Structure 1
Amino acid sequence: MIATVKNILREIYPFSKTNINRRKQLNQFKELLAKNANKPLKVVIGSSQKFTENWIPSEVHFLNLLDQKDWYKYFEENSIDALLAEHVWEHLTLEQGNIAARTCHKFLKKNGRLRVAVPDGFHSDSEYIDYVKVGGHGLGADDHKVLYNFKSFSEVFSANGFAVELVEYFDENGTFHANPWNEEDGYIKRSIRYDDRNTDGNPNYTSLIIDAVKI
């Protein structure tokens, strides 16, 4: 009997722990929304609880890019000042990526900024590509749906009402480009500036980063 109870608890506990964590994340989200009510509204999409000051972290279980009903629970249309998504879009199909872009466009203010980063399909290092490609051997790559380059990724947002500004990217010739950017508009860890793998000054591990500005 005791062994049976232990087996049942082993099955239930992981799910209970997950539900508790999800409730904590949602409560934190609501608390920070209230706390920042008189500040510019800046939201991190799929944050994995990583965020900087004045940003509000969200997770897919309560703010899903593919379900606008989630967004209407907390926001009015044209109400968000800035959005940030680091390594989220590659987990969506191309069709879903377009849906997600339209969701962001609907809830951003005019001239609001969405900073978004994904693995860079034009990266010059073949080992990097093997790590991040669809089905690659890197962490999370088993769930990657698309490997974007600056052209294909820009098209997702320009086709859905955004003006696109290139931030960091490799071009089709394998040349790396990095334009100045302000971390207050969204901190990207996996970037030439902040990723520890780039301390030698080379773009060993970078992201394709764009700013999509609502027009």
Structure 2
Amino acid sequence: MKYAFLRFIGTLQIRYNFNVLKKRKLTIGSSKIKLGKEWILSEYEALDASKASDWQRLFGDERVSNILAEHVWEHIPDEETRLSNQNCYDYLQKGGRLRIAVPDGNNPDKEYIEWVRVGGSGIGADDHKILYTYDVMKSRLEKAGFRVELLEYWDENGKFNYVDWSLHGGMIHRSRRYDPRNQDGKLGYTSLIVDAVKD
């Protein structure tokens, strides 16, 4: 009963923002984060990213310009991830961007890995399905048709790589620039962050 109610309310909110307010930027699974007014916030009850029927119900034949998922993809099982990647590609307009941030499996800090690994000690890690590295994330998104831009990530040699990405694609709070744990040049917490572009 509660799920049906949340689905009904979430659907109304998304449709109103999309059809009436003409918002075209969508978050997945992050209705409690603070973003600009141009963003549509969603949760799983209204939009299961792996279900094409949910996308069709909410957006019909229309497309969104941006999709943002901060620390969501690591909670999605493999087959549902493949479907979610494909649905995001299908429902983005040409030139649109899917920005994903997840815990980084190449982070050289053992405490960080213990915190974020599948079944780790961190908040929410008991529901993690995969610990991504940049190459795995890139490969999976490319299979859906995306061109992938790596924004922040650790490589196999323990080097942190980043570019100065724009907020136009969405704010990632758990990032080099915006996480308060990163101060005085020390990286206390970072994410693997990518932009998947539909050319």
TM-score, normalised by the number of residues in structure 1: 0.85
2:75 alignment counterpart:
91
1:45 to 21, 28, 32: 28
**Higher mean C-alpha deviation, range 148-157 or range 25-34:** 25-34
Task: Give % identity.
Answer: 44
Letter in 2 for 1:60: Y
1:159 alignment counterpart:
143
- Mapping of residues 115-130 of structure 1, within 5 Å: 115-130=99-114
State whether residues 78 and 110 of structure 1, in contact with CA within 8 Å, keep that contact through their aligned partners in structure 2.
no
State whether residues 188 and 194 of structure 1, in contact with CA within 8 Å, keep that contact through their aligned partners in structure 2.
yes
The structure with the greater share of residues assigned to helix is: 1
Give the gaps of 5 or more residues in structure 2.
Answer: none
2:16 alignment counterpart:
31
Alignment CA distance shift 1:175-1:77 (3 Å): farther
Deviations 1:122-148 (A, max 9, x none): 011100000000000000000000001
- Helix, strand or coil at the partner of 1:198: coil
Deviations 1:157-177 (A, max 9, x none): 011100000000000011111
Larger gyration radius, structure 1 or structure 2: 1
Give the CA deviation at 1:35: 4.3
- Helix, strand or coil at the partner of 2:196: strand
Give the CA deviation at 1:153: 0.8
Deviations 1:1-40 (A, max 9, x none): xxxxxxxxxxxxxx75x77666554443333224431x5x
State whether residues 134 and 153 of structure 2, in contact with CA within 8 Å, keep that contact through their aligned partners in structure 1.
yes
- Mapping of residues 10-89 of structure 1, within 5 Å: 24-37=9-22, 41-53=24-36, 54-77=38-61, 79-89=63-73
**Higher mean C-alpha deviation, range 193-202 or range 106-115:** 193-202
Q: Detail structure 1 runs of 4+ shifted over 6 Å in the superposition.
A: none
Give the CA deviation at 1:80: 1.1
CA distance in structure 2 between the partners assigned to 1:76 and 1:143 by the alignment: 31
Q: Provide the aligned length of Structure 1 versus Structure 2.
A: 198
**Higher mean C-alpha deviation, range 43-52 or range 131-140:** 43-52
CA distance in structure 1 between the partners assigned to 2:18 and 2:123 by the alignment: 31
Give the gaps of 5 or more residues in structure 1.
Answer: 1-14
**Higher mean C-alpha deviation, range 57-66 or range 92-101:** 92-101
Give the CA deviation at 1:92: 1.2
Give the CA deviation at 1:183: 1.0
1:10 alignment counterpart:
none
Deviations 1:69-124 (A, max 9, x none): 11101214561111000111101122221111001011111121000010000011
